[in-house]
Amino acid sequence: MPATICARDIRKTYGDLRAVDGVTFDVAPGEFFGILGPNGAGKTTTLEIIEGLREADAGEATVLGLPPWPRNPALLPRIGVQLQASAFFERLTAREQLCTFASLYGVPARRADEMLEVVGLTDKAGTRTEKLSGGQAQRLSLACALVHDPDVVFLDEPTGALDPQARRNLWDVLRAISAEGRTVVLTTHHMDEAETLCERVAIMDHGKVLQIGPPAALIRALDFPNRITVSSGLVTAAEARAGVPGAEVTDDGVTLAIVTRDPAPALGWLADHGALAGLQVRGGTLEDVFLQLTGREYRA
Amino acid sequence: MNAFRSLSRAMFLGFVRDRGAMVFSILIPVIFLVLLGSIYKGSGTPQLSVVEVGKVSLLDQASSRGQLSRILKVTRSSDLGAALNDVRQGDADAVAQQQGNSLVVHYSIADQVTAAVVQTVFASIVQQADEQAAGRPAAFRLTTQQVEDKSLKPIQYLAPGLLGWAIASGATFGAGITLVTWRQNKLLRRLRLAPASTAAVVCARIGISLVIAMVQLAVFLAIATTPYFGLKLTASWWMAIPIVACGTLSFMSIGLLVGSFARTQQAASSIANLIILPMAFLGGAFIPLNFAPRWLQDVSYALPLRYLVVGMQDVMARGDGPASALPAIAILLGTAAVLTLLSVRVFRWDQV
């Protein structure tokens, strides 16, 4: 099956700044694809070129086999876009907002009510958008992007300024959208978000894609050591060092930590000594991948 | 619902729910009209206030007769000193005394026009009394004929002037602030990604501004033509409708240009005010151009507001025919075309 989205060596320069510097990737039909990177990495510009909001200086992008630039009326009804800010008409209620967007796509108002239901805003239908909380506004904005039932959905930092509760809430909605078979492309600077939601991620920095792959595969490829922690006082650090050869063991009085590339013997030994209270096993994360790729701490 | 209708509806709701916009585009101009209309209502019918000290038979005869009684307001006093003081202070225009066959009139030359009127009126009173006393018929007879009065009463320039100002600021702010707000919240980009045409978006915005302008026109006419303010509309007043429509387009293009440059709403509204307020003073919205100094009249020809205001005055109050509005309409449309083309060149989708 041909790729839903193709980006081939796209480039965009603003003055001296190479915002996008040769980005290439494909997104398969129905895939949940993430573009991950710190602020200023070029994620939004990349997305805007693919959506058809900007013209690339060089390279080629297609969506559903069609070029998005110049503004392509054949493509527009098939893509749904949520921009970074909450792009709403002033002083309209949530329902009026959705109905207006629905009519721009020639979709009946009935569909607006369905979408309110999907994003869990039915009880806020009569509330003006200025009065919605950050999470509610973000969900409404998502509903506006989906009201015409597009095949491809672009989300630019959908959980940008949300509190943890609202983020998790939105993640559930995003999973549901993806489960309906749509292709979803999302940009984020949250590593955990990319890790839990995306089937594949492209890690970007300074306008370039550093690596692309499923999050788990990227992490595994790092061969990052596991960090096993249990409560202090069950076994001493010296005992653990003797029992688990080759592991690095520390004890700060609260937590006993065993760092090893081979977790099985360590876990077996801890179990044998009845020392599993407070057990946590942490592998590498996308943050470690980023550190490995750029040689610097990840700062969103 | 098609895109044009739903966009119009969205913008209309956005306007009527915006108390600030309602106050600025309708309420404040109406308050100005009511206040200024009431203040200037009395002016234009001068009366001479004369203090009669002691008995002045000539004055009593005159003030009981015909036309003179309408311009003379006679009060009686026995205190000459106090009466003279009233004239010095400008509280009375003249003091009249009769000493035998001599009529003595005291007046001030602080206001030379009033002074001249006082002298003329009393001279004519004495002359008439002389003629009667001599008992001979007048050798000459004066016949007067009234010409059509083309000078404007206050309400006749206040209503079109303030209405012009209200329409100008409504249209400029409507277009400018909408553009800046939509760019800031990215609605502009979002609409570009919807299959609705740019024409639908632009026409919806123009349509709403035209509706607002027509509401302003209707409210102003309704208030100004009440018996209290007494505006009498002349035959071709309906030509004010196309003038208002073209004025709206013209000032929307100014707003569009402002919105293309300004980055924030505050900046847009400051720039719009900087353009509209001086133009209101210089373009005849607040001060009638007939009374303005020569240089101001010359300046006004460069301001689109002049054509909106004077165009409305001509057809609404001066009784000019429908064709008289055509030059004003052409200039307003020309301004709109030039400024819109200019805006297209400097237009930006994004803040950066």
Average pLDDT, integer, range B17-27: 88
Q: What single DSSP character describes residue A128?
A: B
The answer to whether A195 touches A227, Cβ cutoff 8 Å, is: no
The confidence score (pLDDT) of residue A1 equals 66
Continuous segment of H or E residues that includes residue A216? helix A215-221
Of the candidate ranges A87-96, A189-198, B287-296, the one whose mean pLDDT is the lowest = B287-296
Contact: B190, A99; criterion CB under 8 Å: no
The confidence score (pLDDT) of residue B249 equals 97
Average pLDDT, integer, range A286-295: 81
* Identity at A43, one-letter amino acid code: K
The number of beta carbons lying within 10 Å of the beta carbon of residue B254 is 26
Asked whether the predicted pLDDT for residue B277 surpasses 80, the reply is yes
In this predicted model, which residue has the larger pLDDT, A221 or A214? A214
Average pLDDT, integer, range B82-108: 87
Summarised one tens digit per residue, pLDDT across range B125-138 is 888 788 778 877 66
Summarised one tens digit per residue, pLDDT across range A130-159 is 999 988 998 999 999 999 999 999 999 988
Contact: B185, A101; criterion CB under 8 Å: no
Split at pLDDT 50, 70, 90, the class of B352 is low
Candidate ranges A11-20, A230-239, B84-93; pick with highest mean pLDDT:
A11-20
The confidence score (pLDDT) of residue A140 equals 93
The confidence score (pLDDT) of residue B236 equals 92
Q: Could you tell me if residue B39 is left (phi over 0), alpha (psi between -120 and 50 degrees) or otherwise beta? A: alpha
Mean pLDDT of chain B: 87
Average pLDDT, integer, range B336-351: 89
In this predicted model, which residue has the larger pLDDT, B188 or B143? B188
Residues 6+ positions from B149 with CB-CB distance below 8 Å? none
Contact: A96, B13; criterion CB under 8 Å: yes
Instruction: Please state the ipTM of this predicted complex.
Output: 0.83
A53 burial via Cβ count (<10 Å: 0-12, 13-18, 19+) = buried
Continuous segment of H or E residues that includes residue A280? strand A280-282
What percent of chain B shows pLDDT beyond 70? 92
Of B14, B17, B187, the CB nearest to A87: B187
Q: Measured between alpha carbons, how far is A104 from A107 in angstroms, rounded to an integer?
A: 8
Of the candidate ranges A149-153, B105-109, B329-333, the one whose mean pLDDT is the lowest = B105-109
The answer to whether A204 touches A25, Cβ cutoff 8 Å, is: no
Degrees (nearest 5) of the Cα angle A224, A225, A231?
Answer: 140
Strands A183-188 and A152-156: parallel
Split at pLDDT 50, 70, 90, the class of B275 is very high
Considering the entire predicted model, what is its pTM?
Answer: 0.79
The confidence score (pLDDT) of residue A121 equals 92
A74 burial via Cβ count (<10 Å: 0-12, 13-18, 19+) = exposed
Interface membership of A73 toward B (CB under 8 Å): yes
Q: Measured between alpha carbons, how far is B296 from B69 in angstroms, rounded to an integer?
A: 39
The confidence score (pLDDT) of residue A204 equals 93
Degrees (nearest 5) of the Cα angle B35, B39, B41?
Answer: 115
Average pLDDT, integer, range B272-301: 89
Q: Measured between alpha carbons, how far is B310 from B33 in angstroms, rounded to an integer?
A: 17
Summarised one tens digit per residue, pLDDT across range B4-14 is 999 999 999 99
Backbone CA torsion sign across A270, A272, A273, A274: positive
Say whether the peptide bond before residue B327 is cis (omega within 30 degrees of 0). Answer: no
The confidence score (pLDDT) of residue B162 equals 94
Average pLDDT, integer, range A159-171: 85
Average pLDDT, integer, range B324-338: 96
* Identity at A197, one-letter amino acid code: L
Of all residues in chain A, the one with the smallest CA distance to B196 is: A104
Interface membership of A52 toward B (CB under 8 Å): yes
Of A76, A90, A100, the CB nearest to B193: A76
Summarised one tens digit per residue, pLDDT across range B117-127 is 888 888 888 88
Distance from CA of A68 to the nearest CA of B (A): 10
Q: Measured between alpha carbons, how far is B86 from B97 in angstroms, rounded to an integer?
A: 15
For chain B, first and last CA: distance in Å?
35
The answer to whether B325 touches B314, Cβ cutoff 8 Å, is: yes
Kindly list the distances between the CA atom of residue A199 and the CA atoms of A32, A140, A224, B70, B235, in Å, as whole numbers in the listed order: 5, 25, 20, 95, 75
What percent of chain B shows pLDDT beyond 90? 47
Q: Measured between alpha carbons, how far is B252 from B174 in angstroms, rounded to an integer?
A: 7
Continuous segment of H or E residues that includes residue A164? helix A164-179
Interface membership of A155 toward B (CB under 8 Å): no
Nearest to A204 by CA among A52, A74, A33: A33
Asked whether the predicted pLDDT for residue B233 surpasses 80, the reply is yes
Summarised one tens digit per residue, pLDDT across range A247-285 is 889 899 899 999 888 888 889 999 998 888 889 988 888
A73: three-class secondary structure by DSSP: coil
The number of beta carbons lying within 10 Å of the beta carbon of residue B143 is 4
The confidence score (pLDDT) of residue A297 equals 67
Helix axes B240-261, B326-346, angle to 10 degrees: 20
Nearest to B15 by CA among B165, B204, B193: B204
Split at pLDDT 50, 70, 90, the class of A300 is low
Chain B neighbors of A89, CB-CB under 8 A: 10-11, 14, 187
